[in-house]
Amino acid sequence: MLISMTGHGSASDTFDWGMARLDIYSVNSRYQNIAVRCPKELYALEYPIREELKDRFKRGKLTVSLYASFAPDLKTARINGDVLENYFEELMSIHGRLKLLEEIQLEILLDLPGVLEQPEVCVFDIYDKVVEDTLSVLNEALSKWNEMRRIEGDHIASFIIQTIDKYEILIANIEKEWDNAFRDELEELKRKISLLLPGKIQEDETSHFDGVALLADKWDIKEEITRSKSHIIKFRETLNSPSSEGKKLDFLLQEMLREINTIASKVKNAQIRWYVVEGKCLLEQIREHVQNVE
C-alpha cells in the first residue's frame, strides 16, 4: 500500500459558541513537519492540534489553518458592575466635595480599566468545549485528507507496478544478452593476453587461464544481475506491505541504481549498454514517484 504525501482536506461545523473551519494541506518533505495557524484568540489550540497530528502521518510538510467565528454573546464585551459601581461612588464623593453641578455620565466610565471584560475572557471560560469541538472538526478534515492521499497513492502504485514490470523484463534481456556475449568477451580477452604474452602462455598455460578467470570475474555482470533480481522481489514485497514504506522503497531504488551503474561500467556490449540506459530511465521515473510517498 502506498500513501501520497500530497493531499488536502477541509471541514467545518457550527456550535453553541460559534463556527470552526479547518483546512489541511500537505506536500513532500523528507521529515515530519507540522505548521499550525490559529486565530489570535485561539492560539492556545495550537498545542492540542499538533499533538493530535503527530501520530497521523510519518513524513511530509503539513499545514493546518484554523478559522473561527464566535457567537454574538461571546463577541460582546461585558460590563463589570462592581467595578463600575466603585468608580461611580468614588467620583460622586469627589463631585460632592468639589460642589460640581455637572452630572456624571456613566458612558464615560466605560473606558476606565476593568469596567469592560473583553471577549477573550469569555472564550477562556469555555476553552475545554472549544478544544473538544475543534478536534472533532479536525478529525473530519483528516479523514478527507487521508482519503485523498490514499487515492493518489493508488495512482502512484499503479504506475510503479507497471514500470517495475518493464524493468524486470529489461534485466531479463540483459541476462539473455550477456549469456551470448560472455563467451565472445572471454575469447577476446584470451586473444589480447596471447598477443601480449605469447611466450608465457606456452610455458605455463595453467597460469594463463587463471589470469583470464581472474580478469573475467572483474567484468562479469552475473552477480549484478542476480542482485538486481533480488532487489526487484524485495521492492515488490515492500510495495505490497500493509503500511506505506516510502523511505524503504527509496533505499531499495538506490541499490538498484548502483547495480545497473556497475553493469554499465563493466560491459562493452552495445546492446547491453543501451538496456542500461533504458533501465536507469525507468528507475529514475519510479524514484520521482516514490519521493512523493509517505
Cα distances from 241 to residues 49, 108, 140, 245, 246, in angstroms, run 29, 71, 26, 8, 11
What contacts 105, CB < 8 A, 6 or more positions away?
Answer: none
SS3 at position 104? coil
pLDDT at 136: 95
Q: How many CB atoms lie within 10 A of CB 200?
A: 14
* Mutual angle of helices 246-266 and 270-290, in 10-degree steps: 170
Using the Cα atoms of residue 62, residue 7, residue 56 and residue 48 in order, give the sign of their dihedral.
Answer: positive
What contacts 43, CB < 8 A, 6 or more positions away?
Answer: none
pLDDT at 79: 73
pLDDT at 122: 58
Burial of 275 (0-12, 13-18, 19+ CB in 10 A): buried
Averaged pLDDT in 10-residue chunks for the chain of 294 residues: 93 92 93 91 88 90 92 70 77 73 68 67 74 94 95 95 96 90 70 62 52 61 92 94 90 94 86 93 94 91
pLDDT at 8: 95
pLDDT at 215: 57
> pLDDT tens across 145-175, in order?
999 999 999 999 999 999 999 999 999 999 9
pLDDT at 121: 47
